[in-house]
Amino acid sequence: MSLISSLHVASTALHAQSLRLNTVASNLANADSTVDTYGQTYKAKQVVFRSVPMEDQGADGVEVMSIVDSNAPGRRTYDPGHPQADASGFVTYPNVNAVEEMVNMIGASRSYQMNLEAMNSARELMQRSMDILGT
Amino acid sequence: MNPVPQYDSLAFGETALRLRTYRQQILGSNLANVDTPGFRAKDVNFAAALREQLEGQGYSNRVPLSVTSAGHLPSSTFRPGMPTQLFRTSLQPSMDGNTVDLDIERAHFAENVTKTEAQMRFLAGAFRNRVNAMTPDGR
């Protein structure tokens, strides 16, 4: 039934957007992580969305195709006393841009809310269709 | 004698409701893919789809051409299944090729939800009318 499929489409979007929100949280949390578990400087992560056809004909859900590391150069600060400082005394901080991350966060949160509303609409319509049987 | 209505109210209601929920699903896909690069917003031409579906069910005064050979194409334009999806003409496509315009999509979404609900009430009314007609003395 199409309304069930509407619910599925909205839920794929909720999943994708929450993953996007997760990467934003990860990026913001690691904005000052000069070293990760592999000994490298943390790199900002971005999700790549892709639309996927649902099992029901016609509808397209969305999924996270991949999570890519940003290749932007990291922020370099002169701090010779830092344990991660290189030979010339510079420390490379992660290439996390806090402004971009905040914009990304607001975008993800708005899209999440919108798809939640779409889900709610589908739910209410299904409720109404059940009311028809009761009359 | 009363004129026979052009469409049976139950068949009409059922078809319209099916197309409404189908359109709901398409509009939901547009909302879900608001951030997907290259995604193009889709919609269906509801009036054309409804006419096509009803005509396909025989509610038409159109006479089909007879088919005398297996190689002949059928004359009916009816295709069982769901209507053709059309791409929405975008006023302001984004740089990544996505043509979902949130304001337009939300307006269509709200409109479709309201009309689906209205259609459900009409269908419920049609059922009630039949029940009333079967009840003696209107009880």
Spans of all domains in chain B: 7-60+102-139
Average pLDDT for B25-35? 92
What pLDDT score was predicted for residue A63?
93
Residues of A in contact with B26 (CB under 8 A): 58-59
pLDDT on residue A55: 75
> In terms of pLDDT, which residue wins out, B21 or B2?
B21
Residues of chain A with pLDDT under 50: none
A20, A125, A126, A130: best mutation site toward chain B, by most B Cβ within 10 Å? A125
Q: Would you list the DSSP string of B4-32?
A: PPSS-HHHHHHHHHHHHHHHHHHHHHHHH
**CB pair distance less than 8 Å for B127 and A57:** no
Q: Give residue-wise pLDDT tens across range B68-113.
A: 887 877 655 444 567 778 898 888 888 888 999 988 999 999 999 9
Could you give the ipTM of this predicted complex? 0.80
Which residues of chain B have a CB within 8 Å of the CB of A51?
Answer: 29, 32-33, 36, 39
Query: What is the reported pLDDT for A133?
Result: 67
- As a whole number of angstroms, the distance between CA A22 and CA A18 comes to 6
Give the tokens for residue B10.
């139950």
CB contact under 8 A, A3 and B24: yes
CB count within 10 Å of CB A39 equals: 7
pLDDT digits (tens, 9 = 90+) for B31-76: 999 999 999 999 999 998 888 888 766 555 455 667 788 787 765 5
Q: In this complex, which of A6, A51, A107 lies closest to B28 when CB atoms are compared?
A: A6
B16 interfacial to chain A (CB closer than 8 Å): no
Nearest CA in chain B to A129: B120
A98 Cβ partners below 8 Å, 6+ apart?
A28, A31
- E-state strands within chain A: 45-53, 60-69, 75-78, 90-93
Instruction: Tell me the whole-structure pTM to 2 decimals.
Output: 0.78
Extents of the domains making up chain A: 2-134
